[in-house]
Structure 1
Amino acid sequence: MTATLIPPATARAHRDSNVLRWLAAYTSSMLGDGVYYLALSWAAVQAGTPAQAGVVMSVSALPRAVLMLGGGVIADRLGPRRVVIGSDAVRCAAVLAVAALLFLTSPGLWPLALLAFVFGTVDAVFLPAVGALPARLTDKSQLARVQGMRGLAIRFSSVVGAPLGGLGVAVGGASAAFALAGLLIAVSLPLLISVRMRDLPEDGAPTPGAPRTTALNDLRAGLRYIRRHRVLAPLMLAIALGDLGFVGPLNVGLALLADHRGWGASGMGWVLAGFGTGAGAASLLLAVRGRLPRAGLVIGCACATGAVAVGALGFVATLPAAVGTAVLVGLLTGLSGALCGALLQTQADPAYLGRVTSVSGLVSLGLTPLSMPFAAAAIGAWGLGPVYAVSATVCGLGGLVALLVPGLRRAELPG
């Protein structure tokens, strides 16, 4: 599929119809994901034991983690637009096929496990391409604003997707919820096809007429490019440390904290809502402002201050204090995360963007979730306070990397 190319635009991203079409497609796809995950968990619980349902829900993690780096190579070779469209088409077809199967019969767990495996495999290609696409939609000066708009779409999808899935289950069971997920993903396809791409210079791309390298060599070249880059290399380390210290306390740790404090599930929901509110405010700030000066320094300060807030969350005694702390955590980590994404987009050579985003995605979505069982075991052994303090220290180290490495600390977003 040949991309439609457009000349450089001068419109701000939030007023650019091309960017808004992409945003609508992205939001619809993310809503479909939210409905899909609820439908999958519900159907798995209904068809098997809790342990079997847990296995089904985790099936997608392995192919996503193992294949993510290869997905970045594919995104760079074929172009992110083509890969995103193809991936969404496969995801849509797989979900609708399972919806039809569940409507016609009761096949048990095997189609759910197969669907989860297909989703995880496709995600390994889809996620790097999604990360590489914004740089081909608008000027570099608008990428921070695009990251803010993307963050708002993610927050909206996380709030609306699960209730939509629950409504689908209530109306027509798991098959109806899967059908709804497939239709939402399907809505993104014509929007993505209508999105126009920019013809970006690709200094790292092969010279026309030169022999085509192997996928493995492309992967090695991408990793070597990141390792030698004065901004991307420390930025990847900062992202890894920040996510590693953040995932445990804000997932399994929060459930244990709410139970230990006697806040219950509703209290945990309020804390999560506080985090989502803060993260949404950070995304809105970037979507409106479009650019923050001294981005590298802001990342370091926000990550370091956010680490203190993460640690404090483990020691607060009352629910209102926890909600307020969660708002601060969401604001600071949301700001640093969006700026990290914008720096990845603007600092990476367009020819390497798929591989760059695949490395950051592997760290955030493939490796750091593995810390959750260790965090739970550590909380059981030593209690909430020490584990939250250690997690905060790890987060803080990510901020220190951003503050101490000159290349990253002085990094700026294009004006």
Structure 2
Amino acid sequence: MPAVDSPAASAPASAHSPAADRPAYRDANVLRWLCAYAASAVGDSMYYLALSWAALRDGSPAQAGAVLAVSAVPRALLMLGGGVLVDRLGPRRVVVATDAARSLIVLGVAALLLLASPGLWLLALVAVVFGVLDAVFMPAVGALPPRIAPPGQLARIQGMRGLASRMATVVGAPLGGLAVALGGSAAAFGAAGLLFALSAPLLLAVRTAPLPAADDAAKPKANALRDLADGLRYIRRHRVLAPLLVVIALADLGFVGPLNVGLALLADERGWGASGMGWILAGFGAGSGAASLLLAVRGRTPRAGLVQGLALASGAVAIGALAFTTSIAAAVAVAVAIGLLAGLSGALCNALVQTETDPAYLGRVTSVATFFSLGLAPLSYPVTGAAVGLWGTEPVFVVSAAVCAAGALYGLSAKALRGAELPR
């Protein structure tokens, strides 16, 4: 059967114990995991700021962009293999090991920057190594929540994770900027490394459940490629996961281009400038944070499959409408709606992935979902920019909205997904 985490880490309360009814935000075990996740996420924000600043100091803007981009290549190429490793070793063990490795690497870079100026080659090498570690770390992060809490609390955990991600975005960049101002890139790298180091012991204190006995089809084989093929077959044959992953892929493909590249071009076209773009992003963040808070407090959402599809369809309409706003106030209001609807749909999709997947396959299934989100979807950035240059913002936003809507309609047309429920 698949390798599991340390036997010293006991299982979370069963569904029939009083602790199983405790909300996740009152569960000390979940809170330890959340603190570890938040520390790692803030460290990520500080690391990327430090890397970009150091690259700009040592090279041209184009070279700095290349340094930041190289990490995406190993992440995309190795993500599916990372899911196989997670299922073999257990998600907690993988997250602890990768956070420890990231801490040592970043602290080593900080020390080198204090002693010398190693140049862009070192920064590019660090970015590549981080991409390799991310390919394993991200599937492990997605596979860990079902091992620390009962199934009925997974929607709450997704809401709490969303709030932590928002906090990391808001807090991490300013802290990184302050560290750079006080001590240069070395200080920012050092602070990020300490946060990664803090995450590891917190995760070691998290109790995780052992996997149930796996059937023969789920047992790891000697060949990693065979494990991966088994995982892909499992997804293809699953009545809920197969359409759900298509929905995730189309939603991300239609969403990330307009909201990451198209928004800057829209603000420039309307004459709103960087401050206007900042207000729109703040509106999106507020809406997304509200969705995360709602799920964290409310917990289970009845008819989750139907709700996520309707939320995604409504969010697609809002994405198309954003390009036709003529004032910052209207654009901010639409951005709040996009954040709320997309945040709700995304969190419910993640919760459904975790509750519908056999635990023995969770690393591989999570890696496929993450591959779509962070491997393929970013490829739409240059396409979005080029399309806006040729046809303007309105047609591009409408096409992107249509891609999201296609994902929503496909999910709503799949009876098993439409009727999917989260556990009580």
TM category (shorter chain) comes to over 0.9
In the alignment, structure 1 segments of 5+ residues that lack a partner are none
Distance 2:84 2:406 in 1: 30
Matching of residue 342 in structure 1 with residue 351 in structure 2: yes
Partner SS for 2:200:
helix
Distance 2:201 2:220 in 1: 35
Matching of residue 61 in structure 1 with residue 65 in structure 2: no
Say if 1:60 and 1:120, in contact at 8 Å, map to a contact too: yes
Matching of residue 261 in structure 1 with residue 270 in structure 2: yes
Partner SS for 1:411:
coil
Say if 2:217 and 2:230, in contact at 8 Å, map to a contact too: no
Number of residue pairs aligned between Structure 1 and Structure 2: 413
Structure 1 counterpart of 2:410, which letter?
Answer: V
Distance 2:249 2:391 in 1: 24
Q: Classify 1:29/1:211 alpha carbon distance in 2 versus 1 (closer, same or farther; 3 Å).
A: closer
Matching of residue 366 in structure 1 with residue 375 in structure 2: yes
Structure 1 counterpart of 2:336, which letter?
Answer: V
Distance 1:314 1:289 in 2: 33
Root-mean-square deviation (Å): 1.2
Structure 2 counterpart of 1:369, which letter?
Answer: P
Distance 2:216 2:329 in 1: 53
Which has the larger displacement, 106-115 or 324-333? 106-115
Partner SS for 1:293:
coil
Structure 2 counterpart of 1:392, which letter?
Answer: A
Partner SS for 2:117:
coil
Structure 1 counterpart of 2:86, which letter?
Answer: A
- Please name the residue that 2:24 is paired with: 13
- Please name the residue that 1:351 is paired with: 360
Aligned to 2:157, which of 118, 125, 146? 146
Aligned to 2:6, which of 2, 12, 20? 2
Partner SS for 2:190:
helix
Aligned to 1:299, which of 299, 304, 308? 308
Per-residue CA distance 1:331-369 (angstroms, 9 max, x = gap): 000000000000000000000000000000000000000
Say if 1:316 and 1:322, in contact at 8 Å, map to a contact too: yes
CA-CA distance at 1:204 after TM superposition? 4.5
Distance 1:204 1:358 in 2: 21
Matching of residue 240 in structure 1 with residue 249 in structure 2: yes
Distance 1:161 1:232 in 2: 34
Distance 2:290 2:212 in 1: 34
CA-CA distance at 1:199 after TM superposition? 2.4
Partner SS for 1:355:
helix
Distance 1:294 1:314 in 2: 31
Per-residue CA distance 1:284-325 (angstroms, 9 max, x = gap): 000000111000000110000000000001110100100000
- Please name the residue that 1:326 is paired with: 335
Distance 1:204 1:172 in 2: 54
Structure 1 counterpart of 2:67, which letter?
Answer: V
Q: Percent identity?
A: 66
Structure 2 counterpart of 1:248, which letter?
Answer: G
Give the TM-score normalised by the residue count of structure 1: 0.98
Aligned to 1:404, which of 399, 403, 413? 413
CA-CA distance at 1:205 after TM superposition? 6.2
Give the TM-score normalised by the residue count of structure 2: 0.96
Runs of 4+ residues deviating >6 angstroms: none
CA-CA distance at 1:116 after TM superposition? 0.4
Matching of residue 270 in structure 1 with residue 275 in structure 2: no
Per-residue CA distance 1:18-73 (angstroms, 9 max, x = gap): 00000000000000000001111111011001111011000100000000000000
Partner SS for 1:198:
coil
Say if 2:250 and 2:406, in contact at 8 Å, map to a contact too: yes
Matching of residue 52 in structure 1 with residue 52 in structure 2: no
- Please name the residue that 2:48 is paired with: 37
Distance 1:75 1:253 in 2: 35
Partner SS for 1:197:
coil
CA-CA distance at 1:5 after TM superposition? 1.8
Say if 1:239 and 1:360, in contact at 8 Å, map to a contact too: yes
Say if 1:206 and 1:212, in contact at 8 Å, map to a contact too: no
Matching of residue 114 in structure 1 with residue 119 in structure 2: no
Counterparts of 1:65-84 in structure 2 under 5 Å? 65-84=76-95
Per-residue CA distance 1:103-135 (angstroms, 9 max, x = gap): 111111111111101100000000000000000
- Please name the residue that 1:163 is paired with: 174
- Please name the residue that 1:316 is paired with: 325
CA-CA distance at 1:399 after TM superposition? 0.7
Aligned to 2:400, which of 374, 384, 391? 391
Distance 2:220 2:376 in 1: 34
Partner SS for 1:251:
helix
Structure 1 counterpart of 2:57, which letter?
Answer: Q
